[in-house]
Structure 1
Amino acid sequence: GFRIPEVLETSGAKLVEVGATNKTHLQDYAEAICDQTALILKVHRSNFYLEGFTGEPHMTEISSLAHDHDIPLVEDLGSGAIMNTDQMAPIDHEPTPQESLRNGIDLVIFSGDKLLGGPQAGIIAGNADLVARIKSEPFFRAVRCDKLILTVLQECIDDYLACKGESRPPIPVLDCLSTSVEELRGRAEEITSQLADLGSPVTIVDAVSRTGGGTMPKAEIPSVALEIESVGVSHEELARRLRAATPPIVGYVHEERFLLNLRTVFPSQDQHLARALLELLQ
């Protein structure tokens, strides 16, 4: 992948790191500002976390400092969460672009995929004048999204706008996050009832899901999985046969058990899954 310091260096900018790994104070930012300071960049820890004796100033404090010195403040959120993640699942709250802008950020950068749920893309939002300056940069033409990406992203954003923040838009990643364990267990019972006579026993077990995709590394969402006992073959061979099925079925091995986590299966796929398992395992 590409590390942010390397990306900045290729632009000709000089990166000045602020504070220490675990604790950074507002004074650290103030002491790093000089006549050559072009912007302050704050990168959210979206794909890793720090624990222990940690601390950092609130974004409103950094915003006030930046604006007192007439310096743009940019925040890279990474994950692209638009909805309140803690209201969809028993996980932490992931900062949103809306919150960043309310905190006084001039530009906020986030992904169009991941927790936003659209196509793989990078989004820059905020101060209209700064956005216009970015678009006028000749290099922007080389990295801009193509028409297909923009079309899919527009459809995704339209779903959010149609809900007006009053409900959850019908976006797959949000459906996967917010489905209750009770609903998953009901679906699992319906599937296993069709597989009762299989030679390879299929049972319902508790499981854990993660958001993945470089977001919320601490988040563990209670889930339900189908455990398939591999009779006469290894877990690896069972996994290979399922991947080669039509449709392909992708599971994983955890603690010497082969599991199919239903949080990653759409309800409309349940019958396809049951039929494929019947054909492969009987």
Structure 2
Amino acid sequence: MSTDPRRRVPRTDALLAEPRLAAAAERLGRSLVKDAVLRVQQQVRDGQLGPEDAADAALAALPERASSLQPVLNATGVLVHTNLGRAPLSAAAVEAIAAAAGTTDVELDLGTGRRGPRGEGAVGALLERVPAAEAAIVVNNCAAALALVATALGQGRELVLARGELVEIGDGFRIPELLAATGARLREVGTTNRVTVDDYRDALHDETGAVLKVHPSNFVVRGFTREVPVHELALALRGSRVPLVADVGSGLLAPHPLLPDEPDLQSTLAGGADLVLASGDKLLGGPQAGLVLGRAELVQRLRRHPLYRALRVDKTTLAALEATLRGPRPPVAEMLAADVGTLRGRARALAARLADAGVPAEAVDSQARVGGGGAPEHPLPSAAVALPAAFAEPLRRGPRPVVGHVDDDRTLLDLRSVPPAADDDLADAVLEVARRWT
């Protein structure tokens, strides 16, 4: 009788035909299932696994979905966390994406049977929420919006920008490098800490394409400082025919009482900006998108520019954006509106549940943040469950990853960034980590 271990290895076709694995191949795709089968076959060859267990092992090794992205519980207290995908979408937006994933009327007028305007619903929803805007377009992020504006208005011309607004944001992304890459020439005015109306006015000439104002977002300069607000700059530019473009960053549609220093689209346009740019996946609470709103003539120039075709968004983004604007309050708005007393009650209940199971847990007050470059000087009062610092890594590596905030010798699970419906999932994840330790 042969002792060749290869004879003990189940055949690939036999494993792929096993009913449970065949069903998984229908759901996940044949290649993912076959890769799992091949790994299991190698384990059988190496003597690490019995051939009778091969199908079960292959099934256990399969991911839940075809994508490698994993859902994560955000317990950092950062509401718009860039590393965690920024704004979580509302149920209405998720439903809209699912509906738009198939064949849709994204560019078809069903009444006439002819080509229809792309994104009309999303643009209409934007204009309803920001009545100071005459027109709007949507591109794939705020950097794309700025690149489109700089190309359409500033290519071969000068863009006037205060030195204190030549900012760098996450991952080494620098505004002046983006603008220079479009072919525009930058005209820096003022100093690092101070700029005046006259600085802008003196920089204008026949080759000026636009004046830009860029919200610094994730930092604040204090002390002997001076900036020119939009309404003053708009008055100074009146009659010059030079457009004033304001990048407000975070996508706040209107003033918010918790964020008094955060610029919003409605107020910026009402203050005299010709165009305003913002992100869709920050305080707006929608999908990743770059929003451009303002004067109809300028928006149309951007829409007709060849670069717009390369930067426009797909049907699922348009669907999610419209649902975010027209549907119920999105998760980011819910987080902002969370009552501190309610957060403390949730923290106490979770800490008590964990403590009853032998986990060293304590309810504590904490400070949450907007994140995404928004409102850096406005922490949000919050509540958290404090655990030993050693919990942080196994929570991240668990079957339902939880990302908290490590503060000295403890891991804080801040509840302002956790939806109340996920409290049981959060507790289960902590208890699973505790079980592995004991």
TM exceeds 0.5? yes
Task: Work out which of the two has the higher radius of gyration on C-alpha atoms and give 1 or 2.
Answer: 2
Matches within 5 A, 1:133-282: 133-159=301-327, 170-229=329-388, 235-236=389-390, 238-282=391-435
Which 4+ stretches in 1 moved above 6 angstroms? none
**CA 1:2 to 1:228, structure 2 compared with 1: closer, same or farther past 3 Å?**
closer
- Equivalent position of 1:164 in the other structure: none
Contact 2:404 2:411 in 1 (8 A): yes
- Equivalent position of 1:100 in the other structure: 268
Contact 2:385 2:413 in 1 (8 A): yes
**CA 1:83 to 1:190, structure 2 compared with 1: closer, same or farther past 3 Å?**
farther
Aligned sequence identity (%): 44
How far apart in 1 are the matches of 2:203 and 2:331?
43
The Cα shift of 1:57 comes to 2.5
Contact 2:231 2:272 in 1 (8 A): yes
The Cα shift of 1:73 comes to 0.8
TM-score (norm 1): 0.88
AA aligned opposite 1:37: T
AA aligned opposite 2:291: I
How far apart in 1 are the matches of 2:432 and 2:232?
61
How far apart in 1 are the matches of 2:176 and 2:209?
15
Say whether 1:126 aligns with 2:280: no
The Cα shift of 1:246 comes to 3.5
The Cα shift of 1:139 comes to 1.1
Contact 2:254 2:266 in 1 (8 A): no
Contact 2:344 2:365 in 1 (8 A): no
How far apart in 2 are the matches of 1:146 and 1:244?
33
The Cα shift of 1:215 comes to 1.6
How far apart in 2 are the matches of 1:225 and 1:36?
55
The Cα shift of 1:36 comes to 1.0
How far apart in 2 are the matches of 1:142 and 1:102?
30
- Equivalent position of 1:64 in the other structure: 235
The Cα shift of 1:247 comes to 2.4
How far apart in 1 are the matches of 2:226 and 2:397?
49
Alignment partner for residue 184 of structure 2, among 1, 4, 13?
A: 13
The Cα shift of 1:244 comes to 2.8
Q: Which runs of 5+ in 1 are unaligned?
A: 160-168, 230-234
- Equivalent position of 1:166 in the other structure: none
Contact 2:262 2:374 in 1 (8 A): no
Q: Secondary structure at the match of 1:129?
A: helix
Alignment partner for residue 200 of structure 2, among 5, 22, 29?
A: 29
Query: After superposition, what is the alpha-carbon deviation per residue over 1:221-260, rounded to whole angstroms, capped at 9, x for unaligned?
Result: 111110113xxxxx34x22221233422221210221111
Q: Secondary structure at the match of 1:185?
A: helix
Q: Secondary structure at the match of 1:259?
A: strand
The Cα shift of 1:137 comes to 0.6
Query: After superposition, what is the alpha-carbon deviation per residue over 1:161-208, rounded to whole angstroms, capped at 9, x for unaligned?
Result: xxxxxxxx5111111122121010111122223223233311111111
- Equivalent position of 2:118 in the other structure: none
AA aligned opposite 1:20: T
The Cα shift of 1:211 comes to 1.0
The Cα shift of 1:148 comes to 1.5
How far apart in 2 are the matches of 1:106 and 1:58?
14
Aligned length: 264
Alignment partner for residue 218 of structure 2, among 47, 60, 85?
A: 47
How far apart in 1 are the matches of 2:211 and 2:335?
36
- Equivalent position of 1:232 in the other structure: none
Q: Between 11-20 and 127-136, report the one with greater CA deviation.
A: 11-20
Q: Which runs of 5+ in 2 are unaligned?
A: 1-171
- Equivalent position of 1:116 in the other structure: 284
* Cα-Cα RMSD: 1.6
Q: Between 14-23 and 91-100, report the one with greater CA deviation.
A: 91-100
How far apart in 2 are the matches of 1:258 and 1:9?
43
The Cα shift of 1:45 comes to 1.8
Q: Secondary structure at the match of 2:186?
A: coil
AA aligned opposite 1:203: E
**CA 1:11 to 1:278, structure 2 compared with 1: closer, same or farther past 3 Å?**
closer
Contact 2:249 2:279 in 1 (8 A): yes
Q: Secondary structure at the match of 2:354?
A: coil
Alignment partner for residue 74 of structure 1, among 241, 245, 269?
A: 245
The Cα shift of 1:58 comes to 2.7
How far apart in 2 are the matches of 1:84 and 1:70?
28
